[in-house]
Amino acid sequence: MRKTRVMVWNENIHERESEKIREIYPSGIHEAIAEGLRECDSFDVKTATMDMPEYGLDQNTLENTDVLIWWSHLAHAQIPDEVAERVRTRVLDGMGFIVLHSSHLCKPFVKLMGTCCRSKWRENDEKERIWIIEPAHPIAHGLPEFIELPCEETYGERFEIPTPDELVFVSWFSGGEVFRSGACWKRGLGKIFYFRPGHEAYPTFYREDIRQVLKNAADWAKPSCGPKPTLGNVKTPYENVKLVDRSDEFHP
Ligand code: ZN
């Protein structure tokens, strides 16, 4: 069986522009995330950043990606609509999509959700306790009852997302807020997981428990290689609708 091709994409701006953030993530947040995933032999892990040609998200790269992990904060609006649409289409075709922290406002995620995806937030060095509320879910594999982060950015409800298909984690913050912090959706043939922690000012992506979540999530989100829907024999009144046979994809 071939390895799951995982790409970690990062806007990579805070790390270049802020000495304080660069001290935490000297090779960028993407490399810290990739380092954790590379502990797993079943993944072939690559990274890409926004300063690459085509924003690191050209068609060929996406077609050779099984699971895309995304971190962004400052540059959501800099991603052209056609690039966001390319990512969205690949998710509908079966690519897994893991959306981290402030990436809840990135264009491909907002397009896939169909809602505003805004939330309450506060930078106040508060404690976050992530409760694993679905211990039998594959993303919860090997985790304790809760994960406690001594300092993180605070997010709060209401988080403007469609009701998740599965809610795996709920966070509590010492300031009093709660937040749906680990949420799953299916869109088309693709699986999507939103995971809340990972503010750039904290070393969250070096933690073993957080890395375990990302490994579990990448494994869960990979294309299932189940039968592709074939619609060619369906009689439809929509004469101009073109039906694409994608039955060969994801069948290595
Ligand atoms: Zn943040």
Got the DSSP string for 171-202?
EEETTS-EEEEEEEEEETTEEEEEE----TTS
Can you say how many angstroms the Cα of residue 124 is from the centroid of all Cα atoms in its chain?
24
3-state SS, residue 159: coil
**pLDDT value at position 1?**
78
Cα-to-centroid distance, 128 and ligand 1 (Å) = 13
The mean per-residue pLDDT over the stretch 111-138 comes to: 97
**pLDDT value at position 239?**
53
pLDDT at residue 26 is higher than 80: yes
pLDDT at residue 206 is higher than 80: yes
Structural Rg of the chain based on CA atoms: 18
Are 217 and 185 contacting, i.e. CB atoms less than 8 angstroms apart? no
pLDDT tens, residue by residue, 166-200: 999 999 999 999 999 999 999 999 999 999 999 99
**pLDDT value at position 59?**
96
Domains of the chain: 4-114+181-246 (3.40.50.880)
Are 164 and 185 contacting, i.e. CB atoms less than 8 angstroms apart? yes
DSSP line for 91-110: HHTT-EEEEEGGGGGSHHHH
pLDDT at residue 237 is higher than 70: no
Are 157 and 180 contacting, i.e. CB atoms less than 8 angstroms apart? yes
pLDDT at residue 243 is higher than 60: no
Cα-to-centroid distance, 39 and ligand 1 (Å) = 26
What percentage of residues in the chain have a pLDDT greater than 70?
Answer: 91
**pLDDT value at position 251?**
45
Cα-to-centroid distance, 192 and ligand 1 (Å) = 20
The mean per-residue pLDDT over the stretch 205-214 comes to: 98
**pLDDT value at position 241?**
52
Cα-to-centroid distance, 145 and ligand 1 (Å) = 25
Are 144 and 106 contacting, i.e. CB atoms less than 8 angstroms apart? no
**pLDDT value at position 180?**
98
Which DSSP state fits 222? S
The mean per-residue pLDDT over the stretch 67-82 comes to: 98
The mean per-residue pLDDT over the stretch 208-218 comes to: 98
Q: How far apart are CA 58 and CA 212, in angstroms?
A: 29
Q: Across all residues in the chain, what is the average pLDDT?
A: 93
Cα-to-centroid distance, 93 and ligand 1 (Å) = 30
Residue with more model confidence, 25 or 225:
25
Which DSSP state fits 233? T
Cα-to-centroid distance, 246 and ligand 1 (Å) = 38
Cα-to-centroid distance, 196 and ligand 1 (Å) = 9
pLDDT band, very low/low/confident/very high, at 75 (cuts 50, 70, 90): very high
Angle among Cα 217, 84, 181 to the nearest 5 degrees reads 35
Q: How far apart are CA 115 and CA 109, in angstroms?
A: 9
